[in-house]
A and B are shown apart, each in its own frame.
Chain A
């Protein structure tokens, strides 16, 4: 839309379609809300079909405009999902670290995306509700974006999915991995930055509707580089 052109940054700008998937009530909408508005709401209207939001993410060399499709989580809406992940360049598969079934569901989504979504889609596995886990079980201070944590969950906190389990799975499948809290905002921006960095340059289109030819040749980023980059760069949002 017009926004992209109005961006003050002279940096090249490209839009990235990102879809959020995951079980109901894991905090997909809240993550987006945190990312887009830096806000958190306890009672949000359930997403009907999908909600659409946009947010820019400034990287040193370029600006990524995220077109975020936040999908409904209720099981029966799953059959609508192909409509939304169609042509997506990135996906955020969210689970709730206090609910182990939600990781299973997330794994299903990952499998679905790997088989059905556009090839080369960048998938990030995100364990949300980190605020409900005791601090020792998380790796909050670890700035490394690709490294979700190294400790097993303590007995006693609400965490049900050990970081190790999810991380091992993510590594096996070649996913970005994060644990976040939409409520506190912890590491939410990092997720999006990491994704922005992980999108292969070749996949980037110019801002649609604006002058399309502004592709950049530098900063071909791979997943490994994304991990390092995400540590230093935050989204300007």
Chain B
């Protein structure tokens, strides 16, 4: 059974074989590197070397250049870590406890090393290469290889360099072999040269940062006013206009600002900031209002996104200006309800900013668009940041920090709720038991915490403190805070026994965060500790063990269940919403169609992704794997694209996808020729070898190649009611509902007719008739599973899913023969009964009813007059197919052989008064446009038991839905019903006598190719049969012209009986007599042709198989592709014969 979980497995194996082997956890450096330093996707670690960073402890404005190296080294902080070089960045980090013993700040370790590669932990820097002004090689003592790096601190005052702070200078001592150091330096040189291009961007971005302004302002105060151009303070959010939340005195904003200023003067600012332990501490105590936005940008890495593309925000807004979208409608609804208590959002200014940021983001990420809660988060950001800053912060939030939170299905939110619950279970088992027992759904309280980052749960001042740490240390902070909240309120929560009580305990707690945590303590210092401070301590000390790694592992562990739940919900919902038409199908069928529909879309997206990335596949796979290991969620943009639970990006199926879709639904939709790579894929499907699977690059993946037939095209067009050139699930379901839901032969016939009634005028013309026949052959070429004609020997379906052919080849073959003959006689009769396009149309309409009754009566007559039973009729019908090579020819004299004469004596129209030959000629003359109407078509179908059965059950049943899905892996060519594998009754064509056989002009078989060519063609493309039929029709017509003599008329067959009343003087007995004498009387050219072509080989069926295989394998004209297919055909037949 084809379902989503199997897709998931397949996908995982395809994407990430390592997932099944968790021991192999070696995420690629690129991803870790980017995550650690919060760099954009474009960056890769090119060089890496162990190095020691030396920072001067105290630099003075003057004399930096004079500082001697030795003195520097003696006094400065030293850190040993890894120095990385990417395309545009040089990064350094000590990562956790890698300090040298000389590290000055003793307690710094507690602030580092907890982010496990998910944020700029540890000490170090992330330096854009464009911010490096100079690199000097220091020829130091002994073997050390030292670089002195001068950054472009104070870049905006570039022209007046030297007037502000002295340039920042760091010394890196590289620890590595000479060769390694040289290589690193070469890379650095290259990078620096390239970095020149970005200097302008840097200037633009840095010019807007408050730190730059603030420090310059400070310099001005120091007495250099005349050198500093007065400029406006950069935008630091709505807070600068509408006041920042909280009491700035209580928050000690000024003191914090002073500390930061001091820190930045020593350690650089914005682009050149160096992270020392103090940096982490300063963030933990809360950021000062005006620097908050900038530090958020730096620690989240959105600064680097902005640096990469500083104009994206403005460009996006102007590009989409005036356009509308669903997201914009939704945004508009919520603008007035985003932090409405903050004065800034009661003003047009604030609302305008909010609107622009949300709108711009919805355009840059249309898959996410807009999700409620984003309005609250962005509103909060905008208090401290400019619009541009908020825009990039939002990008980083949605794409990296909160993966999947705001997506269409919100899978990230649900997943993290699951993770949170399991962490509660692990860390607070008693509380967890209580929650379970009292049936409280934890996520009911915690979901809004995560979704809106505590912003609408806690008072704003405190929520921002959480955000400060969150941006630096990543999503684990949300978990730590959440766990701490529960831990602190544990006692009270244990008393709460329902959701309401639970919520109210926490609401109460949040409202008293400002209060003292220990109000009754004797110790005044302890009394001064607020509940919020307590929360932070509990979160980061007691739950220090919750690392990014923990979260990632938990996410991986719960991902499947969560995604499946979402998928089930989505499936339920989607199936329910399919409209009234869908009620015609069973729920199981709808479920099956849903799975198949999205399965195909998903597979296709995966494949196109894989194929697209093939060249860099290895690198790519490594990257996505790493990303998944780090975040626990596959990078939505490149791993599981199209998976429903992740918010499928495509819900429309194009024609190719439709073909692939049908392969799993109908056997006839499988192509007769398979691409050569298919063998390999099939093999891998069965062996489930991930290795060979990942090799497969066929555009159709592991399934068989779908056929591309006129009929499928027509079906697609018909179902595409909106004419989008693609189908939605709704279209597909409605389409199936019309086919499968009818369950009534009349409507099925009408449906089929409509497919070919191009202009909806109720008529199908000559071309249409031929196409219909082609379609019938196409549909019937693999036989049908359930047939009324099936004998008891028909084997039941094997393997529960894969319909197999009858074990008794004879029986099956004759069934197939019957179908082929039925189709050919259908064609013939179509032309018999077709109306000439104009005048006849009216007559036809008039006589439609009479005609049908005539048919009925003639049938009755037949069985009465001649001592024929219905079976005989069928036999006659099926044998009377001189027009197609399908005819099981019998060379011996037999009454059946009267059939060829039928052609010669096509009966006139029922209402015709003209001589029948004349009428027949008119009907067959290509110059005479003709058509059949639905009543005619219906009559023709009903007149033939095989066709009647086809439309009664086979056609509808050929679409396999939930009841018996097609095993799409079943061999595609094993059971083609074509001339090639007709069993008994099929007589080998005479290779030696091609003279009269299908001329080359038919375009079907090159003369001289004889059997081999014919088989090749027929086997590889059953459709050509119809072409042949058509050609023979014309030939026959020619015959007819020459034979339009009384003698010809005399050889009418029984089939003309229905017209006897009007224009045939013969009786039924005559007909029978005719039939018997036909062998003698109708040795016309046509039959000669048939005989010459089909006769003359008496090899048994086994011999035939060999022959077929030979034909396929040795055919010199076929490409290797063709020979593969022929080989399969051969194989298929062997199986068939068995």
Interface assignment of A224: CB less than 8 Å from any CB of chain B:
no
Residue B498 lies at the interface, judged by CB distance under 8 Å to chain A: yes
Q: Is the CB of B498 within 8 A of A208?
A: yes
B500 close to A80 (CB less than 8 A):
no
Pull 30 A–B residue pairs with CB atoms less than 8 Å apart, ordered by A: A1-B498, A1-B500, A1-B504, A43-B340, A44-B337, A45-B338, A46-B334, A46-B372, A48-B372, A48-B373, A48-B447, A48-B448, A48-B451, A49-B444, A49-B447, A50-B444, A50-B447, A67-B500, A76-B371, A76-B407, A76-B410, A79-B410, A79-B414, A79-B566, A80-B414, A80-B447, A82-B569, A83-B443, A86-B441, A108-B576
B330 in contact (CB, < 8 A): yes
Task: Tell yes or no: B376 within 8 A of A by CB.
Answer: yes
B452 touches A (CB below 8 Å): yes
User: Could you say which of A44, A48, A67 contacts B456, with CB atoms under 8 Å apart?
Assistant: A48
Q: Does A184 contact B (CB under 8 A)?
A: no
Residue of A77, A86, A116, A209 near B572 (CB, 8 A) is A116
Contact B408 A209 (CB under 8 A): no
B503 pairs with A45, CB closer than 8 A: no
The answer to whether B456 touches A79, judged by C-beta atoms less than 8 angstroms apart, is no
A43 near B337: Cβ-Cβ < 8 Å: yes
The 8 closest A-B pairs by CB, nearest first: A209-B497, A49-B447, A1-B501, A43-B336, A208-B498, A46-B372, A45-B337, A48-B448
The B interface is mostly helix, strand or loop, or mixed, namely helix
A172-189: contact bitstring with B at CB < 8 Å (1 yes, 0 no)? 000000000000000000
The answer to the question of B438 belonging to the interface, with a C-beta cut-off of 8 Å to chain A, is yes
Q: Does A15 contact B (CB under 8 A)?
A: yes
Taking each of A1, A74, A76, A87, which has the highest tally of chain B beta carbons within 10 Å of its own beta carbon? A76
Instruction: Decide if B198 is an interface residue (CB 8 Å cutoff).
Output: no
- B333 part of interface (Cβ distance < 8 Å): yes
- Indicate which residue in B340, B501, B570 contacts A209 across the interface (CB closer than 8 Å): B501
- The answer for the CA separation of A24 and B371 in the assembled complex, in Å, is 12
B373, B439, B647, most chain A CB atoms within 10 A? B373
B131-160 interface (Cβ within 8 A of A) = none
CA distance A12 to B74 in the complex (A): 80
* A72-B444 in contact (CB<8A): no
Q: Does B499 make an interface contact (CB < 8 A)? A: yes
Interface of B toward A, CB cutoff 8 Å: 330, 333-334, 336-338, 340, 371-373, 375-376, 407-411, 413-414, 438-439, 441, 443-444, 447-448, 451-452, 456, 496-501, 503-504, 565-566, 569-570, 572-573, 576-577, 647
Chain A contacts of B371 at CB under 8 A?
Answer: 74, 76
Are A80 and B410 interface neighbours, CB within 8 A? yes
Interface size, chain A (Cβ < 8 Å): 37
The interface residues of chain A lying within 8 Å CB-to-CB of B372 are 46-48, 72, 74, 77
Within the complex, the shortest CB–CB distance from A3 to chain B, in Å, comes to 9
CB distance from A111 to the nearest CB of B (A): 5
Q: Is A112 an interface residue (CB 8 A)?
A: yes
In the complex, chain A residues whose CB is within 8 Å of the CB of B414: 79-80
A23 CB to closest chain B CB (Å) equals: 12
Q: How far is the CA of A45 from the CA of B340 in the complex (A)?
A: 8
Chain A residue at smallest Cβ distance from B334? A46
State how many angstroms separate the Cβ of B587 from the closest Cβ of chain A: 10
**Contact in complex: B497, A208 (CB < 8 Å):** yes
Provide the residues of chain B in CB contact with A1, threshold 8 Å.
496, 498, 500-501, 504
Of residues 42 to 79 in A, which have CB atoms within 8 Å of B's CB atoms?
43-50, 52, 54, 67, 69, 72, 74, 76-79
Q: Which chain A residues border B407 with CB–CB below 8 Å?
A: 76
Contact A45 B570 (CB under 8 A): no
Q: Is the CB of A49 within 8 A of B451?
A: yes
Instruction: Point out the residues of chain B lying under 8 angstroms from A69, CB to CB.
Output: 444
CB closest chain-B residue, reference A82? B569
Contact of B438 among A2, A77, A82, A208 (CB under 8 A): A208
In the complex, A45 Cα to B377 Cα: how many Å? 13
Report Cα–Cα, A20/B414, bound state, in Å. Answer: 20
In whole angstroms, what is the CA distance A56 to B1046 when docked? 100
CA distance A86 to B503 in the complex (A): 17
The residues of A that contact B409 with a CB separation of less than 8 Å are 76, 79
The smallest beta-carbon distance between B655 and chain A, in angstroms, is 29
CB distance from B193 to the nearest CB of A (A): 47
CB distance from B816 to the nearest CB of A (A): 45
Please name all residues of chain B whose beta carbon is closer than 8 Å to the beta carbon of A80 when the two chains form the complex. 410, 413-414, 447
B333–A52 contact, CB under 8 A?
Answer: no
Known contacts A76-B371, A112-B573; A52 and B503 CB within 8 A of each other: yes
**Contact across chains for A78 and B439 when beta carbons are under 8 A apart:** no
What is the chain A residue whose CB lies nearest that of B346?
Answer: A43
Complexed CA–CA distance, A208 and B438 (Å): 9
Q: Which B residue's beta carbon lies closest to that of A87?
A: B439
Closest to A47 in B: B372
CB–CB B500/A52 < 8 A: yes
CB <8 Å contact, A84 and B337: no
Residue contact A67 to B499, C-beta cutoff 8 Å: yes
Instruction: Determine whether the beta carbon of A112 is less than 8 Å from that of B566.
Output: no
Which of chain B's residues have a CB closer than 8 A to the CB of A82? 565, 569
Are B499 and A78 in contact (CB-based, < 8 A)? Answer: no
Is A25 interfacial (CB 8 A cutoff)?
A: yes
Contact B444 A48 (CB under 8 A): no
Q: Specify which chain B residues have a CB less than 8 angstroms from the CB of A25 in the assembled complex.
A: 333
A2 to B576 CA separation, bound complex (whole angstroms) = 42
Q: A49-B448, A77-B372, A111-B576 are in contact. Are A67 and B498 (CB under 8 A)?
A: yes
A77 and B410 form a contact (CB under 8 A): yes
Task: Give the CA-CA distance A54 to B619 in the complex, in Å.
Answer: 55
Q: Which of A10-33 contact B (CB under 8 A)?
A: 15, 17, 24-25
Contact B337 A48 (CB under 8 A): no
Task: With both chains docked as a complex, state the minimum distance between the C-beta of A201 and any C-beta of chain B, in angstroms.
Answer: 20
Instruction: Report the bound CA distance from A8 to B373 in whole Å.
Output: 39
Task: State whether A115 touches B572 (Cβ < 8 A).
Answer: yes
Q: B439 and A46: CB pair below 8 A?
A: no
Residues in A neighbouring B503, C-beta threshold 8 A: 52
